[in-house]
């Protein structure tokens, strides 16, 4: 059976700017070919066992040729796999997406394209620079600065741009910014035109430099600006609208709350919240998996309290709120891990991994292996456990009890026997 290829634009770097469709594609991928500018934390959403191949091109460093990338797309798709080509920005904005589509089409493969948020717009926006602004400018032009004006490979009409009255956005132009600005001024762009350079847009290391078009390249060089960076040339570059990334407001809100996390053994007065958390997690799991094939919600408050005497239960509190829990129990020479839960609105922040590592450390020295159950369709949980070194037990293996609608995973306690992808 022939597979298929999906080109996914990952946006300018913040994982929150990956589209829902792009995230769905990653979750359904058998193979992912990714660039170094794509939001790499999103690869955590790929299924267990998905093959992840780094084909990024690092300036002055290692690189995978475009020909080889095309070959990999075709080879894996012809083997019947769903191949995701995961790029930064948008696949069709200096992303060679068109070349990859043509290569796949010539090989008889179907290709889907999921657009991404382009840094040409998103980078300036985060710096408070709108690429168009009423009463200032009505158009913008995005150009590649990969080669300087006058280079044989350059097809840009810099004279036309100098007189167009557009905002000029230059991508991949850090090295050639001085030559580009000099050419624009030589061709008639006013020397007092404002300009800005935005480096590492949508990353914690983001910086913005503003200056006139004749000084911007030197200013950027003096403060150590390097790729990836975006240059904006035009009247809007003088704008500095008071905007910020959504994450900045979330962090500020958290700081205002002045709460701390506390991980401690469970007490009787935690039982009610633990029961609520358990049901919230199982219900969320059922919704995400589009199924109610999960363990029955059979425990009551008395059962939760009684289990404290059998299981070593730990709870994670954030201020007054119980946000996570996990438990373990020794069964012979096995340490059973169970009830690993994180509040649904806080999932994806590494809390589950932290709780898992904590309960593993509680295993007594006599424990020879760790094992656990999780829902058969709980893909996020299965990803967490397999990346922590757990291996799925085949259905015909009767060394552990069977529980309906679950899968079983085992990890040996010796470090050399643990494998992570």
Residue 410 vs residues 114, 207, 370: alpha-carbon distances, Å = 37, 46, 6
pLDDT number for residue 320: 86
- For every residue of 295-362, DSSP letters joined together read ------HHHHHHHTTTSEEEEEEETTEEEEEEEEEEETTEEEEEEEEE-GGGTTSSHHHHHHHHHHHT
The answer to whether 7 and 87 have CB atoms below 8 angstroms apart is yes
- Overall average pLDDT of the 336-351 stretch: 86
- Shortest CA distance to 12 belongs to which of 115, 95, 86, 88? 88
| Most confident by average pLDDT, 6-10, 198-202, 277-281, 341-345 | 6-10
Domain 4-116 in this protein, CATH class: alpha beta
Which of 241-245, 331-335, 338-342, 391-395 has the least mean pLDDT? 241-245
The answer to whether 230 and 176 have CB atoms below 8 angstroms apart is no
pLDDT number for residue 401: 76
Spatial distance between the Cα atoms of 20 and 345, rounded to a whole number of angstroms: 17
Report the share of the chain in percent with pLDDT over 70: 89
In the chain, CATH 3.40.630.30 covers 259-417
- Overall average pLDDT of the 392-414 stretch: 80
pLDDT number for residue 416: 39
pLDDT band at 81 (very low <50, low <70, confident <90, very high): very high
pLDDT number for residue 324: 95
Is 57 in the active site? yes
pLDDT number for residue 212: 95
Element (H, E) at 8: strand 4-9
Extended beta strands in 39-81, E state: 51-54
Would you say the C-alpha torsion 83, 84, 90, 95 has a positive or negative sign?
negative
Number of C-beta neighbours around residue 417 at 10 A? 12
Spatial distance between the Cα atoms of 388 and 420, rounded to a whole number of angstroms: 6
Specify the CATH number of the domain 259-417. Answer: 3.40.630.30
Pairing of strands 334-342, 321-331: antiparallel
- For every residue of 109-172, DSSP letters joined together read --EEEE----HHHHHHHHTT--SSBTTTBS-EEEEE-SS-TT-TT----HHHHHHH--EEEEES
pLDDT band at 418 (very low <50, low <70, confident <90, very high): very low
In the chain, CATH 3.30.950.10 covers 120-238
Spatial distance between the Cα atoms of 184 and 178, rounded to a whole number of angstroms: 10
- Overall average pLDDT of the 11-33 stretch: 92
Spatial distance between the Cα atoms of 237 and 232, rounded to a whole number of angstroms: 6
pLDDT band at 113 (very low <50, low <70, confident <90, very high): very high
Q: Which of 14, 30, 87, 172 is catalytic?
A: 172
Give the burial class of 237: count Cβ atoms within 10 A of its Cβ; 0-12 exposed, 13-18 middle, 19 or more buried: buried
**Which tens digits make up the pLDDT trace of 121-155?**
999 998 999 999 999 999 999 999 999 999 999 99
101 φ/ψ sector (left φ>0, alpha ψ -120 to 50, else beta): alpha
**pLDDT exceeds cutoff 70 at 256:** no
| Most confident by average pLDDT, 223-232, 245-254, 375-384 | 223-232
Q: Which of 24, 57, 221, 354 is catalytic?
A: 57
Average pLDDT score, the chain: 86
Give the burial class of 179: count Cβ atoms within 10 A of its Cβ; 0-12 exposed, 13-18 middle, 19 or more buried: middle
**pLDDT exceeds cutoff 70 at 43:** yes
- pTM for this one? 0.58
Spatial distance between the Cα atoms of 176 and 183, rounded to a whole number of angstroms: 11
Is 35 in the active site? yes
Q: Which of 14, 30, 35, 270 is catalytic?
A: 35
Q: Which residue has the higher pLDDT, 288 or 114?
A: 114
The answer to whether 41 and 95 have CB atoms below 8 angstroms apart is no
In the chain, CATH 3.40.1010.10 covers 4-116
Per the structure block, which two tokens stand in for 68?
């080889």
Is 172 in the active site? yes
pLDDT band at 90 (very low <50, low <70, confident <90, very high): very high
Which of 8-22, 53-67, 204-218 has the least mean pLDDT? 53-67
**pLDDT exceeds cutoff 90 at 73:** yes
- Overall average pLDDT of the 189-194 stretch: 96
**Which tens digits make up the pLDDT trace of 177-188?**
999 999 999 999
pLDDT number for residue 289: 61
**pLDDT exceeds cutoff 60 at 395:** yes
Spatial distance between the Cα atoms of 126 and 388, rounded to a whole number of angstroms: 36
Does residue 247 sit in helix, strand or coil? helix
SS3 of 169-197: the string is EEECCCCCHHHHHHHHHHCCCCCCCEEEE
pLDDT band at 415 (very low <50, low <70, confident <90, very high): very low
Specify the CATH number of the domain 120-238. Answer: 3.30.950.10
Number of C-beta neighbours around residue 220 at 10 A? 23
């Amino acid at each position: 059976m022939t597979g298929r290829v999906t080109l996914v634009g990952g946006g300018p770097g913040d994982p929150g700017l990956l589209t829902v469709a792009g995230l769905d594609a990653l979750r359904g991928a058998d193979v992912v070919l990714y660039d170094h500018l794509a939001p790499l934390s999103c690869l955590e959403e790929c299924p267990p066992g998905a093959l992840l191949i780094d084909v990024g091109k690092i300036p002055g460093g290692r690189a995978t040729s475009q020909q080889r990338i095309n070959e990999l797309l075709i080879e894996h798709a012809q083997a019947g796999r769903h191949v995701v080509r995961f790029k930064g920005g948008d696949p069709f904005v200096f992303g060679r997406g068109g070349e990859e589509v043509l290569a796949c089409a010539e090989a008889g493969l179907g290709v889907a394209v999921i657009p991404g948020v382009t840094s040409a717009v998103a980078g300036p926006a985060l710096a408070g620079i709108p690429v168009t602004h009423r009463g200032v400018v009505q158009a913008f032009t995005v150009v590649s600065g990969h080669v300087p004006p006058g280079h044989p490979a350059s097809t840009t009409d810099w004279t036309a741009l100098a007189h167009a009255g557009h905002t000029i956005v230059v991508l991949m132009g850090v090295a050639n910014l001085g030559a580009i600005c000099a050419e624009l001024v030589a061709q008639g762009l006013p020397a007092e035109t404002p300009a800005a350079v935005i480096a590492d847009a949508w990353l914690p290391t983001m910086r913005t430099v503003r200056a006139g078009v004749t000084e911007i390249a030197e200013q950027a060089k003096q403060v150590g600006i390097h790729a990836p960076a975006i240059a904006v040339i035009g009247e809007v570059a003088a704008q500095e609208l008071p905007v910020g990334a959504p994450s900045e407001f979330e962090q500020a809100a958290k700081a205002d709350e002045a709460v701390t996390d506390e991980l401690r053994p469970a007490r009787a007065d935690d039982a009610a919240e633990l029961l609520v958390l358990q049901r919230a997690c199982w219900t969320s799991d059922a919704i995400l998996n589009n199924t109610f094939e999960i363990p029955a919600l059979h425990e009551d408050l008395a059962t939760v309290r009684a289990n404290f005497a059998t299981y070593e239960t730990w709870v994670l509190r954030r201020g007054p709120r119980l946000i996570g829990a996990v438990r373990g129990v020794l069964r012979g020479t096995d340490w059973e891990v169970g009830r690993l839960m994180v509040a649904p609105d806080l999932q994806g922040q590494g809390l589950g991994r932290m709780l898992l590592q904590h309960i593993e450390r509680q295993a007594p020295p006599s424990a020879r292996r760790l094992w656990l159950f999780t829902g058969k369709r709980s893909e996020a949980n299965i990803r967490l456990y397999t990346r922590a070194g757990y291996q799925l037990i085949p259905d015909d293996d009767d060394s552990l009890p069977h529980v309906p609608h679950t899968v079983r995973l085992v990890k040996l306690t010796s470090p050399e026997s643990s494998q992570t992808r």
